[in-house]
Amino acid sequence: MLAMNFRGPFRIRADRNRPEPEIKHPYDAIVRVTRSLICGSDLHLYHGLVPDTRVGMTFGHEFTGVVVEVGSGVQKLKVGDHVLVPFNIACGTCPFCKQELYGNCHEANPEATAVGGFFGYAHTGGGYDGGQAEYVRVPYADVSPTVIPQGMDIEDAVLLTDVVPTGYQAAEQGGIQPGDTVVVFGAGPVGIMAARCAWFFGAGRVIIIDHLDYRLEFAKQYSYCEAYNFREMDDPVLFLKKATDWYGADVCIDAVGCDATGSTLQNILGKQLLMEAGNATALHWAINSVKKGGIVSIIGVYGPPWNLVPLGSLMNKGITMRGNQASVKRLLPKMIDHVMSGRLNPKGIISHRFPLEEIGDAYHMFSTKRDNIIKPLLIPPRANVA
């Protein structure tokens, strides 16, 4: 089959001779992919920042597809179902799944204790091949995959596998109270969705910070928020203090994660020498620009090893920090309702559509932020076969 093939940092191609996945366990299903997306999280893999990313792996954790085969233990999914597949691989029965912490399943990932399993996310994520391919093996098929509701556009459905619930959870973790000022760092798909969802919780003011003007312009329109370029500021923390009567924001959301830019020291330590788990500049700014007693929500991804973050500010300001991988299955019913009722239009953030064959170009463009790219969609060759 045709599938993405990781050859090493910054080297990705589509290969035609990849082996088709097979059922390995009674709870598996095989899905023929109809759409998939590239995520900011895939860029951490592409840039070589995620440990144990093995040559030959297929990435992709945001996809929809048609079920073509099910294992003997699968009861709910049927051959022919068109499903959206949440990025978390979760067993559904362990103590963490029981608490709806589907991003922290204790069974799905033998390689890690912090996170559960993910499609296409290195061996750190469990070693499962992902959906930037024609076919994918979906473990625990009865747990998370969800039949696409009738009438829902497939391009909306594919965004429900990650970006929409993730943006929503970023806002939810912020504990936003009516009237709160919310600052979102990062105007990528996740930050844009977090800013948009902050209004659902009653935010009074939403500000987004990035250094890419085209994304800031997009966020202003899509998320109805204020948008500022940190390259035009002497100090983003000072700017945000000034903008909030010197109190600081009620809630800060880090929607950037370990691939941040904005600090030479952090770039050298975290991204060139790999002496910390990536570049924690956005988290720095979030902690330092939230008010005393405020909440910092971390949705941008960091690895478990240490990071240079201002713990003293956290302690002395009485800040609460919350973070997690999004629990997609927990949030899906609410997100489906938002989309079907027209309150959210996820596909509005898809800026580029590539045939799967051109995945190398898609990664390059998304990584270098060329051509005003926001969110790239991949279409496999037989995507529209009934």
Ligand X SMILES: NC(=O)c1ccc[n+]([C@@H]2O[C@H](COP(=O)([O-])OP(=O)(O)OC[C@H]3O[C@@H](n4cnc5c(N)ncnc54)[C@H](O)[C@@H]3O)[C@@H](O)[C@H]2O)c1
Residues that bind Zn ion (CB under 5 A): 39, 41, 90-91, 94, 97, 105, 107, 162
Query: How many whole angstroms separate alpha carbon 96 and alpha carbon 273?
Result: 35
Residues making contact with ligand X (CB under 6 A):
39-41, 43-44, 162, 166, 185-191, 209-212, 215, 230, 255-257, 260-262, 281-282, 299-301, 325-326
Residue 64 CB, shortest distance to Zn ion, in Å, is 14
Please choose which of ligand X, Zn ion, none residue 255 contacts, taking the beta carbon within 5 to 8 angstroms, the exact cut-off set by kind. Answer: ligand X
Nearer to Zn ion, 255 or 383 (CB): 255
**In the complex, residue closest to Zn ion by CB:** 39
Q: Of the two residues 41 and 109, which places its CB atom closer to ligand X in the complex?
A: 41
Shortest Cβ 19–ligand X spacing (Å): 28
Shortest approach of ligand X to residue 266 CB, angstroms?
A: 9
Nearer to ligand X, 66 or 244 (CB): 244
Q: From the list ligand X, Zn ion, none, pick the one residue 209 interacts with, judged by a Cβ distance below 5 to 8 Å according to partner type.
A: ligand X
| 176 touches, from Zn ion, ligand X, none (C-beta below 5 to 8 Å by class) | none
If the CB atoms of residues 88 and 289 are measured against Zn ion, the closer one turns out to be 88
Nearer to ligand X, 81 or 254 (CB): 254
Residue 163 Cβ vs Zn ion, minimum distance, rounded to whole Å: 7
Rounded distance, CA 263 to CA 271, Å? 11
Q: With CB cut-offs between 5 and 8 Å by kind, which of ligand X, Zn ion, none does residue 212 bind?
A: ligand X
Q: How far is the CB of 216 from Zn ion (least distance, A)?
A: 21
List the single partner that 126 binds among ligand X, Zn ion, none, CB under 5 to 8 Å by kind: none
Residue 91 interacts with, from ligand X, Zn ion, none (CB under 5-8 Å by kind): Zn ion
d(CA 29, CA 155): 22
Q: Please choose, from the candidates 71, 64, 85, the residue with its C-alpha nearest in 3D space to the C-alpha of residue 26.
A: 71
Partner in contact with 278, chosen from Zn ion, ligand X, none, beta carbon below 5 to 8 Å by kind: none
Which of Zn ion, ligand X, none does residue 210 bind to, with CB < 5 to 8 Å depending on kind?
ligand X
Question: What is the closest distance, in whole angstroms, from the C-beta atom of residue 157 to ligand X in the complex?
Answer: 17
Our CB check for Zn ion shows the closer of 105 and 319 to be: 105
**Residue 375: CB minimum distance to ligand X, A:** 7
As measured in angstroms, the least distance from the Cβ of 282 to ligand X is 4
Question: How would you classify residue 3: left for phi > 0, otherwise alpha for psi between -120 and 50, otherwise beta?
Answer: beta
Is the CB of 77 or the CB of 225 nearer to ligand X? 225
Taking the least distance from each CB to ligand X, the nearer of 131 and 188 is 188
Query: If we measure between CA atoms, which residue out of 24, 119, 26, 106 comes closest to residue 64?
Result: 119
State in angstroms the smallest separation of the CB of 150 from ligand X. Answer: 27
The answer for residues whose C-beta is within 8 angstroms of residue 308's C-beta and 6 or more apart is: 266, 269, 270, 276, 280
Cβ proximity to ligand X, 75 vs 264, nearer residue: 264
The entry of Zn ion, ligand X, none that residue 105 binds, CB within 5 to 8 Å by partner kind: Zn ion
